[in-house]
Chain A
């Protein structure tokens, strides 16, 4: 049976430092990380404005693609992180897996929201409508809704143990929509393009855009994780029952 003890501050700190590489690293690394993210974001914006050529068919609106695609890929990564953390919790019953899943879900909602908004702006300019119920758009909206509901469900459960179990099961099931989003434009008739041919400067700009978006995705998950873990610790400290509320032994034995 896995070690279910999550009751002491020392145990919590050990779990925090193991969970995400950014946690527990010196301040200079974290500052450098965010400076690099901001600088690469600025550089990518500059490349989009002055280096990437204007596409002949769609015109300047095609440049939305450079933020749209990296955001979509990182949405998938964040959803995968929720899935992995949910499975991790169900196997090990350690609460830091649950914190990681919740943090990743928040970032997934944010990134998926960016994908939807940039896609809608593109659609308005390219297709003349803000929204159409094509398979990829519908599955993408469903993905956003699934993870919004994930966060709402978590917030509505009072017991930490039950919230973690319900969240983990939900996180595993919600991930099933990710392959549907990916495959929908390839397997079904869809107004959304499944692949776009890019000139070399466009490819380079797109590759550069992956750097800030991926750094931001990872950094936001790490920060959201730290906030989630601190909130849990504070709740634990404030509760009169204290450590008993955090002990998962009963739940583990039942499983």
Chain B
């Protein structure tokens, strides 16, 4: 690999990690929200 290819690889890795993690968080956050919405609310939650 030459210097240009190394440079492009660095930016591709950084961009993939940053936006990939954002996508993972978005998907897991939505899944959790749906999961919680499907459960009945607790009425006796106050200690």
Q: Which residues of A contact B (CB under 8 A)?
A: 5, 7-9, 34, 38, 41, 45, 48, 59-61, 63-64, 67-68, 71, 110, 113-114, 117-118, 121-122, 124-125, 213, 216, 219-220, 223-224, 226-227, 230-231, 233-234, 237-238, 242-244, 247
Contacts and interface: CB of A to CB of B under 8 A. Distances in A.
Contact of B11 (A45, A219, A233, A234): A45
Given A7-B47, A64-B10, A110-B18, 7 more contacts: A41-B15, A45-B15, A60-B3, A223-B25, A230-B29, A237-B39, A243-B45
B10 A122 contact: yes
In the complex, the 10 A-B pairs of residues with the closest C-beta atoms, listed nearest first: A230-B32, A223-B25, A61-B3, A118-B10, A121-B10, A64-B10, A227-B29, A125-B6, A243-B45, A60-B3
Contacts of B10: 64, 67-68, 117-118, 121-122
A237 B29 contact: no
A65 B25 CA distance: 27
- DSSP class of A's interface residues: helix, strand, loop or mixed? helix
23 contacts: A5-B47, A7-B47, A9-B42, A9-B45, A41-B15, A59-B3, A60-B7, A63-B7, A110-B18, A114-B18, A118-B13, A121-B6, A121-B9, A121-B13, A216-B22, A230-B32, A233-B36, A234-B32, A234-B35, A234-B39, A237-B36, A237-B39, A243-B47
